Structure 1
Amino acid sequence: MAAGAPRIFVSHLAGVPVFDPVGDQVGRVSDLVAMLRVGRRPPRLLGMVVEVLSRRRVFVPMTRITGVASGQVITTGVVNMRRFERRPTERLVLGELLDRRVTLVESGEEVTVLDVAIQQLPARRDWEIDKVFVRKGKGGVLSRKGETLTVEWSAVTGFSLEEHGQGAESLLATFEKLRPADLANALHHLSPKRRAEVAAALDDDRLADVLEELPEDDQVEILGKLKEERAADVLEAMDPDDAADLLSELPEEDQERLLTLMQPDDAADVRRLLAYEERTAGGLMTTEPIVLRPDATVADALARVRQQDLSPALAAQVYVCRPPDETPTGKYLGTVHFQRLLRDPPFTLVSSLVDSDLPPLGPDTPLPAVTSYLAAYNMVAAPVVDESGSLLGAVTVDDVLDHLLPDDWRETEFHEEGARHGG
């Protein structure tokens, strides 16, 4: 890159695509790595953490970066696919420097870091952090109070100190457009301290979505650092099956205490799921599929399918049952697939469209049999019905995959191979 390149604020680099010289995408920028230096010398930027197509995070040195412009990063094309591991002397710029409380050297006033800027040094390939964008007062990036200003790195102090109670507003603003799975991956690679701070700053629904995508160890760690009342609120916002899976990792006394704090209806669904063995249809199912009465129309069914918070697997079919139409329902009559709904007039009753030949699963059906069932009938979800004929819930293919993959599937060699071939 030519000397005199423009200054770049790092928040603009989060999620930016990374390409090789021939235009093939390698991945996306997840974070930047810097090394603090003694005195007031600006930190040296060591490289970028790039999330390749398999969600593996790898390190790309700045010496391999040939261009940073127009919303993209260009590399030399030589990328080491070894998983990134932060060294003790390194700092993650987005994950650790933003939202810090630092001090203006001249006035001694405390300010909050909203962003930092990087620039390439003249006549060299080295990069450094040279500017800091801060807000005066105690408000974070979401607060309108306090003057904002951009100062030299040497004009502030306090980045090297351990900070307790560091905020997370600027970091969350940087990652606000990430899908829950991608935010979970970013959260997984933060330090436990920073992970807890970010979790505390997320609203209940967003944190619930992210928890559902995290490894069990991270889920338990984060839930354990929340106040019990808030932990119960987050569990209520999670899908019942995911909440049950998380609670099953806790001691029984902690389970009961949190269930008692939850709303009775939400707690009842979770208690029902906890009663089943984990690797059975009952333990895997969600208690919130789309249930319709026989006199509902195709228009009613399509309106339910269009609900934004439904997963694609749950939206692929509706289940027709006699009242009551909340699980456990009245008699289960059959399934209507989404494609069938698209082929019939809106006024058609769903009771005339049910596929009653497809056998439902029993709640004690073991995981291998559930897997075979979905594969044999080319289904993405399957009804779970008890001995009395009542619908208890539905097992979706994503829940099955979560239990078929190894616990450390995010870290396995399978993904390393995918990264090599896909990235």
Structure 2
Amino acid sequence: MAAVAPRVFVSHLTGVAVFDPNGDQVGRVRDLVVILRVGRKPPRLLGLVVELSTRRRIFLPMTRVTGIESGQVITTGVLNVRRFEQRPTERLVIGELLDRRVTLVETREEVTVLDVSVQQLPARRDWEIDRVFVRKGRGGAFRRSKAETLTVEWSAVTGFSLEEHGQGAESLLATFEQLRPADLANVLHHLSPKRRSEVANALDDDRLADVLEELPEDDQIEIIGKLKEERAADVLEAMDPDDAADLLAELPQDEQERLLALMQPDEAADVRRLLAYEEKTAGGLMTTEPIVLRPDATVADALARVRNPDLSPALAAQVYVCRPPDETPTGKYLGTVHFQRLLRDPPYTLVSAILDDALQPLDPEAALPEVAGFFATYDMVAAPVVDESGSLLGAVTVDDVLDHMLPEDWRETEFHLHEDEDESRGVGGEMGEGGEMGEGGDEVEGVGHGS
């Protein structure tokens, strides 16, 4: 008797590692590509969207998949590295099918799609969606225990082919809950504008702020423009002041002023100060929220501030000692204490006793090349910005320097693998076992994804 092919729910495939036959990881699954069929025939699974280590998304046909088991996907070892582009007839399972409102054929009751399962057809290499996991009634995906859920055959529901307005995003967010902000931003960037707006609306303010900071400028403007102004102001408050200032600088002056007026006065004041500087200067690059301590603070006080999980690693690398007040712009800047020095001295030591005051701080008008040279010369990950009167205005971190030195579209292009590099190897060339480029360049199994 033939063994029954295993059933896999797509929520269990998200983020799963993809390996070649030698056991080398080539990427991670980010979505599944299906094509809807007429009548009630289950959709055919064409392949997987795989994100390589370079963050490039490629298409992996199911004919190249030799196994899906134990939390991993095994391939034949040959990958087409042409960038994935969705065709009009295709649907992304995680990005477009989850959270849809569909109808049970038998009872005409509306239900919400929480998950779908795929199964390999017997004696064939084809895969298709066979079951749909749905929840009756309305409400967030996290309230499943309060509503009836059931798994039905694909043919038992209808409504997937209809354009849906106001589609939820709870199941999609649950699927990507563990992603870092940069990775979730990459997911949003590849969604349709409609779906991107729905996901943005479903994120809480802090999470959306973190994701916005990692998105390309056009996506930032699109998302913030579709939010209600009150919520847009809340999200801007949750962003780092320098990132909020960069985003507001791209908006029309009247819209910029409306949003600033809706922000908390102290938050808006920080952003206004940053907007006063040219973008590619130390003043335009800095954040106004570094760790500031008084001279009588101890090493223990400094380490307690450094432990704040909301701080970026660069900002947590050092503390700045100033006379009161404790927030920027402060009284006289006295010097910096580096994190390594904090680890070497007893907890009761005063920070004023272990200052590094020999390093000259940055002037707020210092241009980007000068700032970059400072970081390279002194191997710094953050640097203080001090005005003519000696007051600490903020700190520039290395990530902001890199952000402004890279090409403007660096978030949208995988700069580890440029297009001209593709052409020199043959666009559409395939990645062989061990990650090397193979001969050829043919379209994969007639699917032909790519640019």
Tell me: higher relative CO, structure 1 or 2? Use CA pairs within 8 A at least 6 residues apart: 2
Given that 1:285 and 1:396 are in contact with CA atoms closer than 8 Å, whether structure 2 keeps it comes out as yes
What is the CA-CA distance between 1:5 and the residue it aligns to? 2.3
Q: Distance in 2 between matches of 1:174 and 1:283?
A: 37
Q: Distance in 1 between matches of 2:5 and 2:95?
A: 25
Q: Distance in 1 between matches of 2:236 and 2:414?
A: 32
Counterpart of 1:357, as a letter, is A
RMSD, aligned CA: 1.4
Q: What do residues 221-266 of structure 1 show as CA deviations (whole Å, max 9, x unaligned)?
A: 0000000000000000000000000000100100000000000010
Counterpart of 1:117, as a letter, is S
Of 138-147 and 162-171, more deviation after overlay is shown by: 138-147
Q: Distance in 1 between matches of 2:412 and 2:200?
A: 22
Q: Which residue of 1 aligns with 2:448?
A: none
The yes-or-no answer on 1:29 pairing with 2:25 is: no
The yes-or-no answer on 1:235 pairing with 2:230 is: no
Q: Which residue of 1 aligns with 2:136?
A: 136
Q: TM-score, normalised by structure 1?
A: 0.98
Q: Which residue of 2 aligns with 1:391?
A: 392
Matched pairs, number:
422
Counterpart of 1:90, as a letter, is E
Given that 1:3 and 1:123 are in contact with CA atoms closer than 8 Å, whether structure 2 keeps it comes out as no
Q: Which residue of 1 aligns with 2:440?
A: none
Q: Which residue of 2 aligns with 1:48?
A: 48
The yes-or-no answer on 1:249 pairing with 2:250 is: yes
Secondary structure at 1:414's aligned position in 2?
coil
Structure 1 residues without counterparts, runs of 5 or longer: none
Q: Which residue of 2 aligns with 1:287?
A: 288
Q: Which residue of 2 aligns with 1:368?
A: 369
Q: TM-score, normalised by structure 2?
A: 0.92
Q: Which residue of 1 aligns with 2:114?
A: 114
Counterpart of 2:97, as a letter, is L
- 1:77-92 aligned within 5 A: 77-92=77-92
Q: What do residues 144-198 of structure 1 show as CA deviations (whole Å, max 9, x unaligned)?
A: 4321000000000000000000000000000001111100000100000000000
Q: What do residues 104-131 of structure 1 show as CA deviations (whole Å, max 9, x unaligned)?
A: 0011000000000000000000000000
Q: Which residue of 2 aligns with 1:306?
A: 307
Secondary structure at 1:8's aligned position in 2?
strand
Q: Which residue of 1 aligns with 2:9?
A: 9
Counterpart of 2:228, as a letter, is K
Structure 2 residues without counterparts, runs of 5 or longer: 423-430, 437-451
Counterpart of 1:270, as a letter, is V
- 1:49-198 aligned within 5 A: 49-143=49-143, 144-198=145-199
Counterpart of 2:256, as a letter, is Q
Given that 2:216 and 2:412 are in contact with CA atoms closer than 8 Å, whether structure 1 keeps it comes out as no
Q: Which residue of 1 aligns with 2:298?
A: 297
Q: Distance in 1 between matches of 2:66 and 2:291?
A: 51
What is the CA-CA distance between 1:422 and the residue it aligns to? 7.2
Given that 1:3 and 1:120 are in contact with CA atoms closer than 8 Å, whether structure 2 keeps it comes out as no
What is the CA-CA distance between 1:6 and the residue it aligns to? 1.0
Q: Distance in 1 between matches of 2:412 and 2:198?
A: 24
Distance 1:186 1:133, change over 3 A: same
Given that 2:115 and 2:133 are in contact with CA atoms closer than 8 Å, whether structure 1 keeps it comes out as yes
Counterpart of 1:4, as a letter, is V
Of 128-137 and 139-148, more deviation after overlay is shown by: 139-148
Secondary structure at 2:319's aligned position in 1?
strand
Q: What do residues 349-378 of structure 1 show as CA deviations (whole Å, max 9, x unaligned)?
A: 000111100000010000000000000000
Q: Which residue of 2 aligns with 1:330?
A: 331
What is the CA-CA distance between 1:24 and the residue it aligns to? 0.5
Given that 2:56 and 2:414 are in contact with CA atoms closer than 8 Å, whether structure 1 keeps it comes out as no
Q: Distance in 2 between matches of 1:83 and 1:314?
A: 35
Secondary structure at 1:410's aligned position in 2?
coil
Counterpart of 1:225, as a letter, is K
Q: What do residues 367-403 of structure 1 show as CA deviations (whole Å, max 9, x unaligned)?
A: 0000000000000011000000000000000001110
Q: Distance in 2 between matches of 1:272 and 1:410?
A: 27
Q: Distance in 2 between matches of 1:413 and 1:182?
A: 13
Q: Distance in 2 between matches of 1:176 and 1:422?
A: 29
- 1:332-351 aligned within 5 A: 332-351=333-352
Q: Distance in 2 between matches of 1:17 and 1:272?
A: 45
Q: Distance in 1 between matches of 2:348 and 2:413?
A: 50
Given that 1:329 and 1:391 are in contact with CA atoms closer than 8 Å, whether structure 2 keeps it comes out as yes
Counterpart of 1:217, as a letter, is D
- 1:267-286 aligned within 5 A: 267-286=268-287
Counterpart of 1:263, as a letter, is Q
Given that 2:55 and 2:414 are in contact with CA atoms closer than 8 Å, whether structure 1 keeps it comes out as no
The yes-or-no answer on 1:356 pairing with 2:394 is: no
Given that 1:167 and 1:197 are in contact with CA atoms closer than 8 Å, whether structure 2 keeps it comes out as yes
What is the CA-CA distance between 1:3 and the residue it aligns to? 6.3
Given that 2:105 and 2:158 are in contact with CA atoms closer than 8 Å, whether structure 1 keeps it comes out as yes
Q: Distance in 2 between matches of 1:382 and 1:89?
A: 51
Given that 1:99 and 1:140 are in contact with CA atoms closer than 8 Å, whether structure 2 keeps it comes out as no
Q: Distance in 2 between matches of 1:189 and 1:415?
A: 18
What is the CA-CA distance between 1:408 and the residue it aligns to? 1.6
Distance 1:52 1:382, change over 3 A: same
Q: Distance in 1 between matches of 2:73 and 2:5?
A: 14
Q: Distance in 2 between matches of 1:132 and 1:11?
A: 12
